[in-house]
Amino acid sequence: MTKPVIDGGTTKTRVFKNFIDGEWVESASGATFEDRNPADTREVVAIFQRSNKADVDSAVDAAKRAFAKWRLVPAPRRAEMIFRAAEILGDRKEDHARDMTREMGKVLKETRGDVQEAIDAAYYNAGEGRRLFGPTVPSELPNKFAMAIRQPLGVCGMITPWNFPMAIPSWKLLPALVCGNACVIKPAEDTPLSTFNLVQALTEAGVPNGVVNVVTGYGPEAGAPIAENAAVRAVSFTGSSAVGRIIGTTAAKSLKPCSLELGGKNPMMVLDDANLELAVEGGLWGAFGTTGQRCTATSRIIVQKGVYRKFIDHFVARAKKLKVGNGLDETVEMGPAVNEKQLNTSLKYIEIGKTEGAKLVSGGNRLDKGEYQHGWFLEPTVFVDVDPKMRIAQEEIFGPVVAIIPCDGLEDAIAIANNIEYGLSSSLYTKDVNKAFAAVRDLETGITYINAPTIGAEVHLPFGGTKATGNGHREGGIGAIDFYSEWKAVYVDYSDTLQKAQIDRGE
């Protein structure tokens, strides 16, 4: 991967072309778009190509050609390249974190964690190159060997979101590569630079030209053509449920596998016996980390009535003290919304909450004066005495807005938690091990935490949810390997006679 083109002006703004077949290529559209800093929209972080179907088709063609050779590279060799990429990312962690904060807005501590998650995913998937296990089983016939092996799918298309702009692409690209697939990825238009930084590391680590291709642009213009292209044999999408349904329907027409990781409305339950200070800190981190812009964000806190008012008092006091600002400032605890649309969505739901009768006890206002005047900032916002049926307790907001709901006990908390369209993450704070295991059993989510917030997944376990959160596939761990490979059953008959399986049992 050669260095990107830099413009000749005095601003030295980086101008990125698409990365196709190992070359930087301008979009067939001739159009570009700006990647701006959401904390200070006067700053253009970089300029990217506004790609279209022709660009996607070119990238898919390159991936299809590269796949013919890449699939034959032994998996341990593929894995060694991914391991080297992890080392490269580690060396550049701080630079990549600062790039990410500038283009996405979340604070440096979080962007360092985002890059670290990509490093972790690389180390994990590098290890999978020497596993990719398949079963060997006894045959029902004599002198016959039976086993199942994993094989790559072909060209895989990935469409990724802006909230984890290096971690989530790594969840998709790395297992796909170690399984022997070639890839075309379209990063979110708000955060393409972090994906380029990841792909730069993979290329320098030895991944051949055409195996990973990047096209930038907007969903309808550059994302939809990935799902529609007949040569793309699998599609992985992370984003909204509305777009996920469209992509899933498109993929179904050609019977291609489609992994959808969609919305969430995640509950954190706090029982009377909980460590209250721990629960408060966990709720703050879960609700306002990444400015609430996580699919796993703690958007509902369900608190047993015995500690309800005490929890609210402590939680609100801490929420009011959170420092909001530019994430490049090490003292800042919460950054801006990623863009104006996301900010306006949060403001809309704040008005909905007021109209519904929820009690606004903290925040609720846009910050747009002084240091905030050029960014998309919002106060951390807390509603209390929320009815579980209210829209602010049912619909995904994807911002720093949390609804606190009273409950009678564990059974009531679980009933409230489950009475939702989504089923991604959940958590319970309690000192009672019996209640903890009952919650693990009964919560209708793909992820459950005990005495921790709803965020903090690790790369070596499956990630994903139930109900409208997705379509059953998982990212991370063995779940990703399962998606990016397909089984082939192999039978070797060394009897030197024709054996007719169940017909020839010799009975």
Q: Does the pLDDT at position 153 exceed 60?
A: yes
Active site residue 475: no
Q: Is residue 30 part of a domain?
A: no
| Same-domain pairing of 298 and 225 | no
| Same-domain pairing of 91 and 182 | yes
Q: Is residue 417 part of a domain?
A: yes
Q: Please state whether the predicted TM-score (pTM) of the whole model is above 0.85.
A: yes
Q: Is residue 8 part of a domain?
A: no
Count of residues for the chain?
507
Average pLDDT over residues 16-30: 97
| Same-domain pairing of 226 and 349 | no
**pLDDT confidence of residue 9:** 35
Per residue in 121-136, pLDDT tens?
Answer: 999 999 999 999 999 9
Q: Is residue 507 part of a domain?
A: no
| Same-domain pairing of 442 and 325 | yes
Q: Is residue 400 part of a domain?
A: yes
Q: Residue 91 burial by CB count (10 A; 0-12/13-18/19+): exposed, middle or buried?
A: exposed
| Same-domain pairing of 214 and 283 | no
Classify the C-alpha dihedral 160-164-169-172 as positive or negative. Answer: negative
Q: What CATH number is given to the structural domain containing 255?
A: 3.40.605.10
Rounded distance between C-alpha atoms, residue 94 and residue 92, angstroms: 6
Per residue in 460-497, pLDDT tens?
Answer: 999 999 999 999 999 999 999 999 999 999 999 999 99
| Same-domain pairing of 426 and 410 | yes
| Same-domain pairing of 119 and 220 | yes
Catalytic one among 156, 183, 258, 295? 295
Strand ranges inside 244-368, DSSP E? 258-261, 266-270, 298-304, 359-362, 366-367
Q: Is residue 136 part of a domain?
A: no
Greatest alpha-carbon pair distance for the chain in Å reads 88
| Same-domain pairing of 78 and 223 | yes
Classify the C-alpha dihedral 342-344-348-353 as positive or negative. Answer: positive
| Same-domain pairing of 415 and 323 | yes
| Same-domain pairing of 63 and 195 | yes
pLDDT bin (cut points 50, 70, 90) of residue 1 is low
Q: Is residue 293 part of a domain?
A: yes
Active site residue 261: yes
| Same-domain pairing of 91 and 201 | yes
Pairing of strands 377-378, 40-49: unpaired
Average pLDDT over residues 168-194: 98
Are 195 and 238 in contact by the 8 Å Cβ rule? The answer is: no
Q: Is residue 18 part of a domain?
A: no
Look at the chain and report how many structural domains it folds into.
Answer: 2
Per residue in 346-376, pLDDT tens?
Answer: 999 999 999 999 999 999 999 999 999 999 9
Least confident of 6-10, 137-141, 169-173, 301-305: 6-10
Please report where in the chains the tokens 């089983």 appear, as a residue: 137
Per residue in 66-105, pLDDT tens?
Answer: 999 999 999 999 999 999 999 999 999 999 999 999 999 9
Average pLDDT over residues 27-40: 98
| Same-domain pairing of 96 and 190 | yes
Structural domain that includes position 70:
53-129+153-262+470-485
Q: What CATH number is given to the structural domain containing 332?
A: 3.40.309.10
Q: At what angle do helices 75-91 and 167-178 cross, to 10 degrees?
A: 160
Rounded distance between C-alpha atoms, residue 298 and residue 74, angstroms: 42
Catalytic one among 261, 379, 396, 475? 261
